[in-house]
Amino acid sequence: MRPLPIRTRLAVWYCAVLATTVVAFSVFALVEMRNTIGGSVDAELRDRLGGFRKLLLEQPPGDSPRGLAAALAEHTGGNDLIRMADRNGAWVYRSPAVDSLEAQLPPVGNVAQPTTIVTIRAGGLPMRILTTTLALQGTAYRVQIGENTGPYESTTARFAQVMLAWIPGLLIVAVTGGFWLSRRALLPVDRITRAARQISVRNLSQRLEVPQTRDELQRLSETLNAMLDRIEEAFQRIERFTADASHELKTPLAVMRTMAELPLRHPGSDGEYREALSGIVRELERTSRLVDDLLCVARGDSGSNALKKARIDLIGVLRAAATQVESMASTQRLSFKREICDGSIWVDGDRDALQRLFVILLDNAVKYTPPPGDVTLKAATRDGLACVDVLDTGIGIDDADVPHIFERFYRADKARSRDAQGAGLGLAIARWIALAHGGTLAVESVRGRGSVFTVRLPAIS
């Protein structure tokens, strides 16, 4: 079944809550009314009993039961229900109203019994009957008085009828009001939806109007705007990346084209062809490295799932990376030192990715250190972390460049970097790999003195 629209659901909930409240309130009011009326009837009965007691006490002491009966007869009306028996159960007085109802009245009992108040139906009328013992000048009598509660009951019944008649009408008004209210309440949401629909790639910098109402609608607009900020930023990053990547790819392609066109236009010797071809191969190698880096960056953007992690020995990875760059270092007449601790350092990582990270750092150290200089690879564990330092005595990095060197395509020294065959992706890739392993990559550098790149990874036992 298709879920109901939020507007209908709101109205239905509103009506359900209102109906429950109204019904509960009516029942509560009815019960309260009955209790209050019942309480006042009982109080009235006790008052009347008090009156009779006072009256009987005013009779001369030792007055005969007949005298008491006369006093009572004088002070009771035709409809008053009262009867009085002595301790032996013999009637002292029975008001005229008792005659027709006698059969339905509860027994008066004996003088030792406690006071009771009960409700009965007698002669078709609801009645409240008080039965108690009265002590008059040393003699105990059993007295019973009653009160017709019919008028009160009809008041309660009338109240219930009024409630029953009004509740459906009230609910109809509530349903209509509920629909109208929910429509009104959701109008701003419609407005936000319409405004959000207008925003597309073409006007991604546009934002939703934020109502200053300090409520869900303000929060919704602010959240959507924050989301648009993130989308715009990501979009700009992709745009920048695409532009930079195309630019980087265009340069080697243009170089290769020139290299191929020149001997084609001016045919030359075998040696010239060979030189042109080896130049093209060099550019192809560089381009394929660039494409490889671009793929790695793209994989990084898709999350760290691109990594296949396992328990690996970091020392082995470092040795492999060092071997890869060692020959380049010696070609450049640099001294390459390894200060790696004995034993193993276990980490949960992707062997290829980590090797790539250290090759990038070592490769940069060699690239940016003019001879004669030192490149040192240090590894140790500190505070449960595997710490790897790549130190060089090279050109160093300007303070102004340090915050940017991990950005994609950022090259501190553009001309020099291109000579060094860099596209400015290495450190971005290196940092992504470190972060994807729950680690960090930091740099400390002094222009003209050298740099230290430090990788920290969580070590496992």
- Which residues here bind ligand ADP, judged by CB under 6 A? 360, 364-365, 368, 392, 394-397, 405, 410-413, 417, 422-428, 451
Q: How far is the CB of 432 from ligand ADP (least distance, A)?
A: 11
Cβ distance to ligand ADP smaller for residue 286 or 437: 286
Rounded distance between C-alpha atoms, residue 78 and residue 95, angstroms: 8
Cβ distance to ligand ADP smaller for residue 86 or 413: 413
Q: How far is the CB of 363 from ligand ADP (least distance, A)?
A: 8
Cβ distance to ligand ADP smaller for residue 132 or 451: 451
DSSP per-residue letters across 378-395: EEEEETTEEEEEEEE-S-
Cβ distance to ligand ADP smaller for residue 325 or 365: 365
Rounded distance between C-alpha atoms, residue 340 and residue 361, angstroms: 16
Rounded distance between C-alpha atoms, residue 243 and residue 296, angstroms: 17
Q: How far is the CB of 224 from ligand ADP (least distance, A)?
A: 35
Cβ distance to ligand ADP smaller for residue 188 or 424: 424
Q: How far is the CB of 216 from ligand ADP (least distance, A)?
A: 45
DSSP per-residue letters across 335-382: EEEEEE-SS--EEEE-HHHHHHHHHHHHHHHHHT-PSSEEEEEEEEEE
Structure tokens given for 281? 């191969």
> Coil, strand, or helix at residue 444?
strand
Q: How far is the CB of 359 from ligand ADP (least distance, A)?
A: 11
Element of type H or E holding 408: none
Among residues 153, 170, 154, 192, the alpha carbon closest in space to that of 25 is found at 170
Q: How far is the CB of 277 from ligand ADP (least distance, A)?
A: 26
Cβ distance to ligand ADP smaller for residue 388 or 423: 423
Cβ distance to ligand ADP smaller for residue 422 or 439: 422
Helical ranges in 199-215 per DSSP H: none
Cβ distance to ligand ADP smaller for residue 95 or 451: 451
Q: How far is the CB of 393 from ligand ADP (least distance, A)?
A: 10
Cβ distance to ligand ADP smaller for residue 259 or 430: 430
- Name 249's Cβ contacts closer than 8 Å, sequence gap at least 6: 287, 290, 291
Q: How far is the CB of 274 from ligand ADP (least distance, A)?
A: 29
Residue nearest to ligand ADP as judged by C-beta position:
422
- Decide if 84 contacts 141 (C-beta within 8 A): yes
Rounded distance between C-alpha atoms, residue 43 and residue 37, angstroms: 10
**Radius of gyration, alpha carbons of the chain:** 51
Among residues 121, 145, 122, the alpha carbon closest in space to that of 133 is found at 145
Residue 151, beta-bridge partner list: none
Q: How far is the CB of 368 from ligand ADP (least distance, A)?
A: 3
What DSSP designation does 243 have?
A: H
91-94 β-sheet, strand order: 91-94, 81-85, 139-148, 125-136, 116-122
Q: How far is the CB of 439 from ligand ADP (least distance, A)?
A: 18
Cβ distance to ligand ADP smaller for residue 146 or 422: 422
Rounded distance between C-alpha atoms, residue 122 and residue 131, angstroms: 16
Q: How far is the CB of 249 from ligand ADP (least distance, A)?
A: 15
Rounded distance between C-alpha atoms, residue 390 and residue 296, angstroms: 22
Cβ distance to ligand ADP smaller for residue 15 or 412: 412
Q: b/e for 39-67, b at 16 or more Cβ within 10 A? A: eebeeebeebbeebbeebeebeeeeebee
Amino acid identity at 135: A
Among residues 201, 186, 194, the alpha carbon closest in space to that of 209 is found at 194
